[in-house]
Amino acid sequence: MEAMSQQHLSTNKNEKIILDTLKIANSALKLKNLKLNSLLEITNAINNNFSKKQLLKIFEFVLRSQLSIGKLAFFTNDDEEWQCSLRYGVADSFDGFDIESELLEYTEIVEIEDGGDKLFSEFDVLIPVLHKSSPLAFLLIGDIKEDLIENTQTKHIPFIQTLANIITVAIENKKLAKNTLKQAAVKRELELASEMQSMLFPSSLPKDDKIEISAFYQPHQQIGGDYYDYVKLNNNEVGLCMADVSGKGVSAALLMSNFQANLRALFQHATSLTELVQELNAKVNANAKGEKFITLFVAKYNFVTRVMHYVNAGQNPPIMLSQNTTSYLTTGCPGLGMLEELPKVREGILNVPKNAILFCYTDGVTELENDQGKEFGLSKLELILLEHQLSNMETLNESLVQTLKKHKGQMPYIDDIALFSCRFL
């Protein structure tokens, strides 16, 4: 009887062991299926292009409802600024972290000990998400269910880390895609702006028995603030100009487009260059509101009298070349938009010899630096003009452009470059 009792107890014990083993195996299987299903759900969400908000909701559901993580704070880097993208279970007193000083030093998973930094006191584990050595995100978790903890390590941390990496990479990819679309839109806008700006310049320049003109323009960026123009005023007179807006890029181009419209309109009605420049100064002040200014060289030339009237309003002085002699056209006034009221505007007047060359340029030419920090300068510019005084104007410009490229070497262009060369026949 006693033997049968012992046998019964042994059988019950074995059955209990088997049941416990089956229970553990079933629990492990359920957890494995849960993890696989979670990964599948997140993968499907990514494939279906779920929003960042939707991805974070799935992330929260898996950690909070299925893995019983009681507290969480998930920090991501958006547009170069750290922010808490997801947070739950944290006390109202939690004000977040100064990422720069508190978290950037961590490159490995850290178990947070009791009595540690008060900022970390509500959490148990810190999981950094890195790309190579650069941090992309930080996950802090706390109030972890006891059966998830084994010794001093959380046995599901590798899975949680995998989820955090997947979510972070998905968010980064969405950010990159958004930036790519934004850059493409900006590129297209700049291309359109460049096309529109090219329409501001003369569509053709004269090459006849009276005058030969050639021009070159290279913006520092896709669009710029340099401008040249040729305006036929009547059968005997033409207007010539070279201008440069302070600054570069879109804002400079917008101001220059407005300036071009005003210049062309006023050129036809102003009684003198002095009146023209004064009215242009008022227009620039009204449009730029003191934030930018424009330097300008403007001239009026008469084919019959061969007399040129000009005003240099702060522009790099054009060079007049005739019979191996150079002179600089400096007479004028300050740049436009520098002062509300211009002081007395002085007009330069000169007789233009036959075959003389007027060469106009912007400061991107003379200030172009080589790898030793040396500017191209006026002396080199004069030498090229003298060497090509018998060449046609297109050849002169092409030679100068090649010399500028050789001078700068591997250095970038630091400013817009504009050349405007005129031979008076």
Return the percentage of the chain with pLDDT > 90, whole number: 26
Every domain of the chain and the residues it spans: 2-177, 201-424
Return the percentage of the chain with pLDDT > 70, whole number: 77
Element of type H or E holding 320 = strand 319-322
| Residue 212 pLDDT | 95
**pTM of this prediction?**
0.60
Q: List, for residues 16-42, the tens digit of each pLDDT value.
A: 555 555 454 444 445 565 566 666 677
Q: List, for residues 127-168, the tens digit of each pLDDT value.
A: 888 887 788 889 888 887 655 444 334 467 888 888 888 888
What are the backbone angles phi and psi of residue 325, rounded to the nearest 5°? Answer: -120, 135
User: CA 38 to CA 27: how far, in whole Å?
Assistant: 16
The distance of Cα 142 from the centroid of its chain, to the nearest Å, equals 40
Instruction: Quickly list H helices, 235-343.
Output: 249-267, 273-288
| Residue 278 pLDDT | 92
User: CA 216 to CA 214: how far, in whole Å?
Assistant: 7
| Residue 399 pLDDT | 93
Query: Between 377-387 and 393-408, two packed helices, what is the crossing angle to 10 degrees?
Result: 140
| Residue 102 pLDDT | 77
3-state class (DSSP) for residue 363:
helix
Q: Give the confidence band of 296 by pLDDT, cuts at 50, 70, 90.
A: very high
* Beta-carbon count within 10 A of 26 CB: 10
Q: Give the confidence band of 330 by pLDDT, cuts at 50, 70, 90.
A: very high
User: CA 104 to CA 79: how far, in whole Å?
Assistant: 17
User: CA 192 to CA 413: how far, in whole Å?
Assistant: 22
Q: Are 208 and 222 in contact (CB under 8 A)?
A: no
Element of type H or E holding 361 = strand 356-361
Across residues 178-203, what is the average pLDDT?
66
Is residue 304 over pLDDT 90?
A: yes
| Residue 150 pLDDT | 45
Q: List, for residues 354-409, the tens digit of each pLDDT value.
A: 999 999 998 889 888 888 889 998 989 999 999 998 999 999 999 999 999 999 88
Mind giving me the DSSP string for 51-102?
A: -HHHHHHHHHHIIIIIS-EEEEEEEEEETTEEEEEEEES--TT-----HHHH
| Residue 187 pLDDT | 65
First to last CA, the chain: 136
| Residue 165 pLDDT | 85
Which residues are CB-neighbours of 59 under 8 A, at least 6 positions away? 42, 74, 86, 163, 164, 167
| Residue 321 pLDDT | 93
User: CA 63 to CA 74: how far, in whole Å?
Assistant: 12
Is residue 180 over pLDDT 60?
A: yes
| Residue 194 pLDDT | 58
| Residue 12 pLDDT | 57
Was domain 201-424 assigned CATH 3.60.40.10?
A: yes
| Residue 373 pLDDT | 85
Is residue 264 over pLDDT 90?
A: no
Across residues 267-278, what is the average pLDDT?
86
- What is 2-177's CATH number? 3.30.450.40
Q: List, for residues 81-120, the tens digit of each pLDDT value.
A: 888 888 888 866 565 667 777 788 888 888 877 655 556 7
Mean pLDDT of the chain: 80
What are the tokens at 84?
Answer: 């808490």
Highest mean pLDDT pick, 14-23, 144-153, 194-203, 255-264: 255-264
